[in-house]
Structure formats: structure tokens, C-alpha cells
Structure 1
Amino acid sequence: MRDATRADYPHLASVQTRWMDNDVYGHVNNVTYYSYFDTAVNQYLIERGVLDTHGGRVVGLVVDTGCSYFRSLAFPDRLQIGVRVSKLGNSSVRYEVAVFREGEEVVCAAGHFVHVYVDRKSNRPVSVPNETRQALSHLLCKATA
């Protein structure tokens, strides 16, 4: 995914770094990238009307995640987070994400995370809802890096 370009990601979300994102070494702390991933994916789902964070019967829980870091970022960088889906299963979705500094083509970090869809009350896996599946189908990639 290090060689990926913006064109490899069907959705790009804009994210502004914050002062608090920097650590004592003067760059965005590694754990903060995961919040960028969550923000980009959940923003996509909310904008398409398939995620109701407060009242939805079905929710996606993160069960696996990872990230590789290639170039440092720091406040006040503006970012674009590329999002694609590499696997759309019965009850799970694997997202691949890439972090780009605004205006640059070089990937600064690339990662993944997996949502398992569950019934909010029972916390048991359920099928990805049809509306969600349709929204995610627009993000499917043919090959992964």
C-alpha cells in the first residue's frame, strides 16, 4: 500500500490535524491515525444514511486493525484519508485506508480495519444490512496492495 495513489481509493475524506494530535516528538502520534481511519469510514457511512450512531439496531464493531507509517505528519497539516473496501463478507467488512498530506501524492501511512456487524442489543453478529452493503459496494477494490 506504500505505492498506492489517491486514485486507488474511491473515497477521500478531508481531516484537519489538531494541536493535540502532536506528541512530544513534534509529530502526529501513532494512535491518532486510528481516529483518522474511524472518522473517514464513519463519515462515509453517516453521509450515506446507513449509520445511526445513537439509534441504529445494527452497528459495526472494530475487531482488527493495523497501520504502517512511512512519513511523519504534524499539526497544522491538512489530510486526505483514502478509503476502499477489500472484502465485503456476510457480517464483516475489511477497509483499507491511506493517509495523504493535502496536495501530495505520497502515502504517509496506510492501514486497515475490520468491522463486524452486530445486533446492538445482543452483541451477536448479523449480516451486513442491504443498504450498508450497497453503500460499501461503491468502495470495493479489485486488488489489494
Structure 2
Amino acid sequence: MADNAEIPTISDYGRLATVTTRWNDNDVYGHVNNAVFYEYFDSVANSYLIEVGGLDIHGGDVIGLVVESGCRYHAPVEYPATLRVGLRVDRLGNRSVTYGLGVFTTESDDAVVHGYFSHVFVDRDTRRPTAIPDGIRTALERLVVE
């Protein structure tokens, strides 16, 4: 556990999405398993890319591949719970983006979990890095942390 100075608050994120925990998210210890938070991160970021950036996950020429991720856990969460997941862009390059994400309960604006992951945008067929498409770049620029 990190000290409170290192725990992000909900105001640190430019976009919020709601996630409802599922029965199978809990592990044998009675809390949401650590790996499940990565699923929340991936779903929230990709939903944003699809809805706001126009990413075509089924037929587009460009896709995003995860190349790095990390996460810190501050407090347990257990099923059932409604969570708020904050999304921001910590770094935006020509071919890659690093997202910052935080997970919050409805009772607190302090993150129970926070982390990051990086997408490299690649050509769907060759898997070679390519420039971030304009629509996606515009959407990502809205969430850049200054």
C-alpha cells in the first residue's frame, strides 16, 4: 500500500466510466482479483477509443496493441460493487499512447487502484507501428494531462 500522497483522486482524470463488478470477479480471498482491474482498464480505454475516436476494432486498418502495463492497489473491493474508472492520457506520441487509470468506489474519491498501460498503434495486417489515426489522436488529445 502506498501512502496517501501517492493515491490519485477522481479529479485527476478527465473521463469517467462506470463498471459493475461481477460474481466471478471475486477470488478465493473474497475480493476482486488483482488481474480483473486490468480488464476494467482495457475495457474503459478501448470503449473510449471506439465511441469517441472512431476505432474500428473489427475492420479498421489500425489497431492498438498493449506493450506495457502496471498497477498499484490501495484498498480491496468486493462483489457486488459499482465502480467509477477514471481515464486520462499521461503521454501521447506519434505511434503510441500511455493511459493513466484510476478505480474508485461510489463512497470515496480516492483511488482503490491506479495504474497505466501503453498502446502502440500498428497496421492490422503487418503489425508494424504506424501513426495514430487523426480521429483517435483528436480523442486522445482531449484527455492529455498537462
Distance 2:76 2:28 in 1: 13
Structure 2 unaligned residues grouped into runs of 5+: none
Distance 1:102 1:122 in 2: 43
Q: 1:65 aligns with which of 62, 69, 81?
A: 69
Over the residues paired in the alignment, what is the CA RMSD in angstroms? 1.1
Corresponding residue for residue 132 of structure 1: 136
Distance 1:68 1:80 in 2: 16
Corresponding residue for residue 88 of structure 1: 92
Distance 2:71 2:126 in 1: 30
Kept after mapping to 1: 8 A contact 2:95/2:120: yes
Under a length normalisation based on structure 1, what TM-score does the superposition of the two structures give?
Answer: 0.94
Give the deviation of 1:42 after TM superposition. 0.8
Deviating 4+ runs (over 2 angstroms): none
SS at match of 2:116: strand
Give the deviation of 1:103 after TM superposition. 3.5
Q: How does 1:1-145 map to 2 (within 5 A)?
A: 2-142=6-146
Kept after mapping to 2: 8 A contact 1:92/1:116: yes
- Deviation track 1:72-128 (CA, whole Å, cap 9, x = no partner) reads 011101101100001100100000000001241121000000000000000000011
Under a length normalisation based on structure 2, what TM-score does the superposition of the two structures give?
Answer: 0.94
Give the deviation of 1:49 after TM superposition. 4.5
Distance 1:25 1:65 in 2: 24
Q: Which moved further from structure 2: 19-28 or 99-108?
A: 99-108
Give the deviation of 1:6 after TM superposition. 1.1
Distance 2:140 2:59 in 1: 20
